[in-house]
Structure 1
Amino acid sequence: MIDLPNLEDAQKLAQAIVNTIPEPFLVLDDEIRVLAASRSFYEKFRVDPERTRGHLLYSLGDGQWNIPALRILLETIIPEKTAMDGFEVEHDFPNLGRRTMLLNARKVLYDDSSLSTILLAFFDVTDRRAIEREKENLLQQTEELLRQKDTLLREMQHRVANSLQIIASILLLKARAVTSEETRLHLQDAHQRVMSVAEVQRHLHTSISVDQIEVGSYLSKLCASLAASMTGEDNPVAIDVVADKEWIGSDKAVSLGLIVTELVINAIKYAFPVVRADDAIAVTYEVDKSDWKLIVSDNGIGKNTVTTRETAGGLGTAIVQALVKQLDAKMDVASSTEGTSVSITRATFTSRIPQAA
């Protein structure tokens, strides 16, 4: 049979247990008087044990512990819930200064007595809250800097687009003024390509995010704009876009946009010398992790069957090849009497979409 300690020994044992708790800890009676306090409580709040034990908690430190939030916890919440964790109190604590404390409280009821005790633990989170506020301030500053960056980039894009429009207008005026037919064609070609770049910039400018562009929406709007400006009743070419959902950087979006613009314009100009009801251009973009594949295909007459279509040494082809190299990709061209397909592939990509041409 185990011998139970007498009352004095039990009190010593209880005080020893309380003293082992590293955080400030109090044991209160049902009248909120201090029955016991941990050594860490005395060290933390620099109070005298003789002026603490047996005294009303609210009277400690000349009444400086008479904290409204603490009274709410001990007199309202604990009697109803018997337990509360993480109750935050910010206060100028005696001999300590302004601190933020998390309080954990438990009400202990006894079977053979109507009396009760309250266990109260203090966790100083002042430094943690300061770090959190600092992080929040840094986050707000970062968001403001990003907002300013976004505004500046949009303004820059707007100015670039305006400048391109001015250049295009000058080229068109020059094309109308020259007498040489060859020079006029070159100026008109330059005008068309400047307008293509301006169109890409315009779509980037209308995007929700400057740094990240959603490929499918971007290419769909770009191709719709090209169709509206270059097709019509006399040249009813349908342009369809199928793209995996992916967000890409604006620099990559510019390159892809220019490639698609160049290839679509080239197809509209040369692939359909004879109008047919089913004339169509397909633009597909697929993603496989870090790899991707862009295909622009048409169901036109093919490159080998017309002498006026751009050759490998044409300006448009040279522009596309330069952009493909910039994207660290490769270009393949397949052409027959059933149409032409230009594939731009990053790494070893396996297409999931069957191609008609």
Structure 2
Amino acid sequence: MQVVWSIFPFHAVFIPHGHCYLWKPGLVWLHIASDLLTALSYYSIPLTLLYFVRKRQDVPFGWMFQCFSAFIVACGTTHFMDIWTIWHPTYWLSGGVKAATASVSIYTAVALVPLVPKALSLPSPAQLEAANRELEKEIAERKQVEEFLRQSEARYRAVVEDQTELICRFLPDGTLTFVNEAYCRYFGKTQDSLIGQIYAPVIYQDDIEHVQQKLNTLDAKNPVVTIVNRVVRSNGEIRTHEWINRVILDHDDRRIEFQAVGRDVTELKQTESALQESQRFVQKIADTAPVILYVYDLIEQRNAYINREFTDLLGYTADEVREMAQAVLPTLLHPDDLAGLQKFVQQWETAKDNDIFQLEYRMKHRNGTWQYFQCRETLFARTADGTPKQILGAAVDVTDRKLIQQLQFALKEKEVLLKEVHHRVKNNLQIIYSLLRLQQRRLKDEKAIDTLLDSQNRIKAIALIHEKLYRSENLSDVDLPHYITHIATGLFGVYRVNSEWVRLETQIEPIPLDIDTAILCGLIVNELVSNSLKYAFPADQTGKICIKIYLKNDELVQLHVNDNGVGFPTDFDPADSNSLGLKLVMDLVEQLEGTLVSATQQGAEFKVSFPWRKP
């Protein structure tokens, strides 16, 4: 036993601490009671602190409370050791407990030094009270805001539910998270049957991919897109909708939800389609119309619209006309017409909507030539204050008509000149005729008289056609029946033949002949009828003379002159005749590039045939 006590030096033989108190009961119990109460108090304080720290996890510096608890427990243990050493002199053990207490005390004291500034930075009660009041105020404001938000949400929900437009929200995978009443009514379903389901079934199958592609384009820079697609109602009806889709993003700009507002635009699309078809129809009419159509802006002084005929007639492209801008009129209009047009534009200041103005002007073709246009214009648009802004015009190319008018005017001048020429030729021939007639009256020789008479008749035949032409409205068209008949009846008077004894029969077609051919025909008829009147009916013999002119097969003109007089001898040949008249006839037929055939059956008959040349 002695060996065991030798191992623990603290158990060396000391006198108990009670000897110091002389074992006086009062003094001993005083120290026992004091140390015992102190030790119990020390043990109760850490328990309270540990309970507090455990219950208040938010208390800062909890580890320091644990250090304080260890320190206080160590102090309480030293008091227990003081009671123990009154009877047991284990002073080494008591010193060890005090050493442990000292270690805990030193650690706690050292750890407490850097903790002081941190503890001082903690708010004071006044600050905590102010912060608490501020927090209470903030809480009250937040409650007000929350109440406002609740009311706002209620109003928003009421507005959304009352909307006639279809409103829905859905997740990126297409799952519906909200639909309003209008959406439910339109598709004939309840909110419970729609929310949580994919929106795809209400979209027409062929449009689903198009809708998804459009939604995939939404991001922070482009958060809204309008999509037009077809939907399928519960009854199977297919309608067209326009949806305005907005993406809702999180803080990392990731899509978390979509909101869509849609409306049925089936009738609108049908109207737009009809309007587009109407516009296409009007554009087709404008492009195929054989007139220039244009809209001219009076304020901007430029063409707002031109149709295809403008470029086709003038050779300019639409881009070239647009580039002319305000210089379009000075560039295209003739300088002489431009000054008049500027005065014409002033009329639009007082023009009424239904007024139509007409004007004529020249415009320059791309190749530099000038073309005439007849134009009709009316007011097309006004500004907000009623000022005339645009005019609509239709211009017809009258260049050819203008040229025709110019040619007609020139031809009219030439006709007047030709009539004057024919009149003068006729007068000159009439003078020659009169001179020959005067000369005839001076002659005594019958043969010379007959020769002059024949010459007079020939001159009269030529003069007659010039007279007919200058009196005619058409200088290129000879009235052949009237002309030939007039020559033949005139010869009856010259040779003093009674028309009751010798009848004149004519069958003359109104064949168009030029003046030279008509004169040649007139001279042939003059010679042949003269011969018949002079030789066919001696001693007042009765008979008839027939003149027939017609067109054969639209190629040959047939001129026949015959009588039922005494005729020619059977061996008569016009080519061997010494008659000046017949020789003249043969020369005239040759000029016509024709042929002459004669016959003597029942009188004399001559048939002239020559090619017809339409004048």
TM-score normalized by the length of structure 2 = 0.38
Residue in 2 that maps onto 1:299? 564
| Secondary structure, aligned partner of 1:23 | helix
CA shift digits 1:63-83 (9 cap, x unpaired): 99x952289xxxxxxxxxxxx
Residue in 2 that maps onto 1:145? 410
2: distance between equivalents of 1:219 and 1:231?
19
Equivalent pairs counted in the alignment come to: 269
Answer yes or no: is 1:274 the counterpart of 2:561. no
> Which residue, 273, 283, 287 being the options, matches 1:23?
283
Residue in 2 that maps onto 1:3? 238
Answer yes or no: is 1:91 the counterpart of 2:378. yes
| Secondary structure, aligned partner of 2:550 | strand
Q: How far 1:290 sits from its partner (Å)?
A: 3.1
| Secondary structure, aligned partner of 2:478 | strand
Q: What RMSD in Å do the two structures reach over aligned CA positions?
A: 4.1
Contact kept, 8 Å, 1:227 with 1:239, in 2: the verdict is no
Q: How far 1:245 sits from its partner (Å)?
A: 3.5
Map 1:312-327 to 2 at 5 A: 312-327=577-592
| Secondary structure, aligned partner of 1:5 | strand
Map 1:55-70 to 2 at 5 A: 68-69=353-354
Answer yes or no: is 1:44 the counterpart of 2:305. yes
Larger radius of gyration: 2
CA shift digits 1:198-240 (9 cap, x unpaired): 2343344444432102322332233222223333349942211
Q: How far 1:302 sits from its partner (Å)?
A: 0.8
| Secondary structure, aligned partner of 2:604 | strand
CA shift digits 1:244-265 (9 cap, x unpaired): 2333333322221111111111
2: distance between equivalents of 1:96 and 1:322?
78
Contact kept, 8 Å, 1:24 with 1:44, in 2: the verdict is no
TM-score normalized by the length of structure 1 = 0.61
Q: How far 1:299 sits from its partner (Å)?
A: 0.6
Residue in 1 that maps onto 2:607? 343
Residue in 2 that maps onto 1:265? 530
1: distance between equivalents of 2:551 and 2:576?
30
CA shift digits 1:24-70 (9 cap, x unpaired): 99xxxxxxxxxxxxxxxx96289xxxxxxxxxxxxxxxx99x95228
CA shift digits 1:259-315 (9 cap, x unpaired): 1111111211121123223x21100111232322110101111121799x9963432
Q: How far 1:152 sits from its partner (Å)?
A: 1.9
Contact kept, 8 Å, 2:546 with 2:563, in 1: the verdict is yes
Contact kept, 8 Å, 2:457 with 2:526, in 1: the verdict is no
Change (3 A) 1:193 1:346: closer
2: distance between equivalents of 1:259 and 1:287?
17
Contact kept, 8 Å, 2:492 with 2:498, in 1: the verdict is no
- Structure 1, unaligned runs of 5 or more: 26-41, 47-62, 72-87, 101-124, 349-357
1: distance between equivalents of 2:539 and 2:442?
31
Code of the aligned partner of 2:541: R
* Higher strand fraction (1 or 2): 1
Change (3 A) 1:313 1:208: farther
1: distance between equivalents of 2:237 and 2:610?
79
| Secondary structure, aligned partner of 2:561 | strand
Change (3 A) 1:89 1:201: closer
Identity %: 25
- Structure 2, unaligned runs of 5 or more: 1-235, 242-263, 286-302, 307-321, 323-347, 357-374, 382-387
Structure ranking higher on relative contact order (CA contacts 8 Å, 6+ apart): 1
Contact kept, 8 Å, 1:201 with 1:254, in 2: the verdict is no
| Secondary structure, aligned partner of 1:320 | helix
1: distance between equivalents of 2:450 and 2:558?
33
2: distance between equivalents of 1:97 and 1:270?
87
Change (3 A) 1:182 1:93: same
Contact kept, 8 Å, 1:334 with 1:342, in 2: the verdict is yes
* Higher helix fraction (1 or 2): 2
Contact kept, 8 Å, 1:203 with 1:222, in 2: the verdict is no
